[in-house]
Amino acid sequence: MNGGDPTSVIFFILIALWLASLSFFLFKTKAHYDKLIKRTDKKGLQELFDQLVDDLASTKEKVGNLLTRVKEQEEKGNTTIQKIGLVRFNPFADTGGEQSFIIGLFDNKENGLLLTSLSGRSGTRWYAKQVKRGKGLDFDLSKEEEEVIKKAKAFT
């Protein structure tokens, strides 16, 4: 190697730059590794990865349990009161005002009950009908009761 040869100097500079960049990336990687390991009480990267794999398996199990519980709650939720309908009406021509009413309480599939209050001059009477899939189970439904079911369907 001749001290004044320009190609030797350029080659030396290129080698020095390459060595400096490799050293930079090596120190940066080492600093990242040390920072990663410092957050744990583990001695090496393999132990850290083993812990992460164990944590992942535990998390998957917990998520699976949560999904099962969510499905159970959704099933239970389908049988709770979700739709409500109310209609006021006057069942008697000889009395004034809409003192009577029907209230319907239904689950997601229009299963539930209708409570009817008929108010007249002599008093108020209460009736209840069970409803299955929007139809009267034991008794036919009046037009007002069918209207309650339609209102309840629109309630959602």
Q: How far is CA 62 from CA 16, 48, 65, 155, in A?
A: 53, 21, 5, 36
In this prediction, residue 154 carries a pLDDT of 86
pTM of the model: 0.56
pLDDT above 90 for 155: no
114's enclosing H/E stretch is strand 112-120
Instruction: With H, G, I as helix, E, B as strand and everything else as coil, classify residue 30.
Output: helix
> Rounded to whole angstroms, how far apart are CA atoms 95 and 17?
103
What are the pLDDT digits (tens) for 79-106?
889 899 999 988 877 666 788 999 999 9
What are the pLDDT digits (tens) for 14-61?
999 999 999 999 999 998 888 877 766 666 777 778 888 889 999 999
What are the pLDDT digits (tens) for 115-151?
999 887 788 899 999 999 988 888 889 999 999 999 9
Is the distance from CB of 86 to CB of 151 less than 8 angstroms?
yes
In this prediction, residue 65 carries a pLDDT of 95
pLDDT above 80 for 112: yes
Pairing of strands 83-89, 100-106: antiparallel
In this prediction, residue 123 carries a pLDDT of 84
Identify any residues that bridge with 113 across adjacent strands, giving them in sequence order. 105, 130
| Cα-Cα end-to-end distance for the chain | 88
